[in-house]
Structure 1
Amino acid sequence: MAVAGKTFGIVGALSVFPRRLIAREVERQGGNLRRGVTRQTTHVVFGRRLLTNAAEAEIEARFEREICHGRRVLSENGFLRALGLATGPETSALTRQSLIEQSALAPRLFDLLSLFDAFEHDSEPYSFRDLILARKYAGLIASGAGWGAIARSVHRSGHVASLTALSLHHEGMDTIYARLAEGLSELDGQMLLGLDLPGDAELEELFVEAEAAEETGDYDAAAAFYQRYLAIDPTDSVTAFNRANCLRAAGRDAEAVHEYVRALKLDPSFAEAWFNLGGLIGEEGHVGSARRHLKKAIELDADFADAIFNLAKLEFDAGNLLEARSLWERYLELDKDSEWARMAERGMQFVNLHLLSKTAG
């Protein structure tokens, strides 16, 4: 897979390689790497550490959401192989459908286990060893184990292919065991390529704490966590953007403007940052600047419906009715069913009636 021109987002933290080294390699190959997911993201990498920080249902929902948005999802191993930092095992001719049929493993569970590298291969073609693993996992799930417990446990043994020779069992939902002559044993072993550099673990922890605080509405605390992150790594545009959103939600608008500008200096193609900065500036009455920022967001992402709607409203309020109508028409090409669509339709009707009355008069 060619990396140039693609934008990768990481959900969760990587367990097998330091993010900063990955970022340099992606940049060297002409791609972009961002923390989290933005509108420009084309590929989403699911880090294995997500398994320790999120419930299975949350991960499943996130997986479904990224698929629905047309983004390609990658496992850690799949990401490394795409970058040429790891080689795949010897390939075979087995398809995804063949493994599902022969193992009786549910398709969605198969995809989730693949996403967290529970097989030799992260995508087609799969090997015969992958089929053996699929059958073992199907048996564990049939006996009550969760897919997340399997994904968390299998990497403790080293290379997952070594599990094909073991008898796997579970007790409860959380841990998978191997039955040895001495009895049940956890699948303990060193994680592969444990190369975290000083500061990486702290950055991941700060980002997780910031997101958690933001989700609960403690925006001042979230902004403080994001600021601590930026003190260690001042080059992360998504962290600056997230901090700006928190500052804005906390009513600290001047600081929010500064952080949006920082995010855009780090990544001038950050459409959401142009959009949010334009909205904030517009609220402060700077119509010309808001218009320029919204237009820039649309220039970067022609299907950015929210930016198109807001620009239409701005033009309407400024008395530029024909421009507002044209923008609302474009918005309705992207969204026909929401309440915002109803507002766009009413706005167009008002413009048409206004212009008709002027013509009649």
Structure 2
Amino acid sequence: MRRLRWLGLRWRAVAWLVLERRERALALFDQLLQEFPDDLYGLASRAHVLAQQGDRAAARHAFERLLELDPANGQHWFNHGFLLEEAGEFAPAEASFRRATELSPQLDRAWYGLGLVLIRLRRLDEAAEALKRNTQLQPMSPYGWYQLARVHVDRHEPEEARRIIRHLHRFEPKVAAQLERETGLAVAHTG
């Protein structure tokens, strides 16, 4: 009977999310967690809804509870790091992103987040390594390439940045053009 109750609350909350009625979904996740306080799905879902609604403090608290209950989940560490980075808490964000990459080395977003935090901390050599890992995992996403090119410019490595711009011209010409404008690095390319 408890299992049916849990399923009912969960599916009703999901239905409200599908209908983009976050307040109703949040109320059901709260109810679910009152009855099943250590439910990982309920905690994670509640944290995501809170973050979407802009209640970063409550979302962070929910992710911290998730980390207590499920510390071996890289996704939870990534989400925690994301909220910390967004709040400007770069050192703790770095620790969370590093833990996420240790637990889930294929989690490309964690490598990207780590790279961004390291850029903010002005640790450009480490940022370049994290962003290289991100681009290996997501070679067709322009975001990691863009940031990596910017790091190369900041490290006074214009040829490395040009190489990335040429690469981006093959599949993201708008991003390549943006980098050329921002960096002043003109790159000859074939259309």
Which TM class, normalised by the smaller chain length? 0.7 to 0.9
Give the one of 193, 218, 238 matched to 2:21. Answer: 218
Give the one of 245, 248, 253 matched to 2:56. Answer: 253
Q: How does 1:163-242 map to 2 (within 5 A)?
A: 198-242=1-45
Contact 1:305–1:334 (CA<8 Å) still a contact in 2?
yes
1:237-284: per-residue Cα shift (whole Å, max 9, x none)?
122011101011111111111111111111111211111111111111
Correspondence for 1:310: 113
Give the one of 60, 73, 82 matched to 1:279. Answer: 82
Write the distance in 1 (CA, Å) between the matches of 2:73 and 2:10: 19
Secondary structure of residue in 1 paired with 2:156: helix
Q: What is the CA-CA distance between 1:352 and the residue it aligns to?
A: 4.4
Write the distance in 1 (CA, Å) between the matches of 2:21 and 2:74: 25
Write the distance in 1 (CA, Å) between the matches of 2:96 and 2:118: 13
Contact 1:238–1:263 (CA<8 Å) still a contact in 2?
no
More helix by percentage = 2
Contact 1:237–1:264 (CA<8 Å) still a contact in 2?
no
Q: What residue ranges of structure 2 are gaps of 5+ in the alignment?
A: 160-191
Write the distance in 1 (CA, Å) between the matches of 2:148 and 2:106: 18
Correspondence for 2:180: none
Q: What is the CA-CA distance between 1:213 and the residue it aligns to?
A: 1.9
Contact 1:247–1:256 (CA<8 Å) still a contact in 2?
yes
Write the distance in 1 (CA, Å) between the matches of 2:117 and 2:81: 11
More strand by percentage = 1
Correspondence for 1:353: 156
Q: What is the CA-CA distance between 1:335 and the residue it aligns to?
A: 1.3
* Matched AA of 1:268: P
Q: What is the CA-CA distance between 1:201 and the residue it aligns to?
A: 1.7
* Matched AA of 2:12: E
TM-score normalised according to structure 2 size: 0.76
Larger radius of gyration: 1
* Matched AA of 1:301: S
Same amino acid, percent of matched pairs: 25
Deviates further, 203-212 or 305-314: 203-212
Secondary structure of residue in 2 paired with 1:353: coil
1:268-308: per-residue Cα shift (whole Å, max 9, x none)?
11211111111111111111111111111111111110000
* Matched AA of 1:264: L
Query: How much is the aligned-residue C-alpha RMSD, in angstroms?
Result: 1.9
Q: What is the CA-CA distance between 1:354 and the residue it aligns to?
A: 5.5
Secondary structure of residue in 2 paired with 1:343: helix
Write the distance in 1 (CA, Å) between the matches of 2:144 and 2:155: 17
1:203-227: per-residue Cα shift (whole Å, max 9, x none)?
1111111112223332222221111
Give the one of 104, 121, 126 matched to 1:301. Answer: 104
Contact 2:112–2:144 (CA<8 Å) still a contact in 1?
no
Give the one of 97, 119, 130 matched to 1:327. Answer: 130
Write the distance in 2 (CA, Å) between the matches of 1:319 and 1:354: 16
Contact 2:108–2:134 (CA<8 Å) still a contact in 1?
yes
Secondary structure of residue in 1 paired with 2:88: coil
The answer on 1:270 being equivalent to 2:73 is: yes
Write the distance in 2 (CA, Å) between the matches of 1:268 and 1:291: 16
Write the distance in 1 (CA, Å) between the matches of 2:18 and 2:81: 23
* Matched AA of 1:217: E
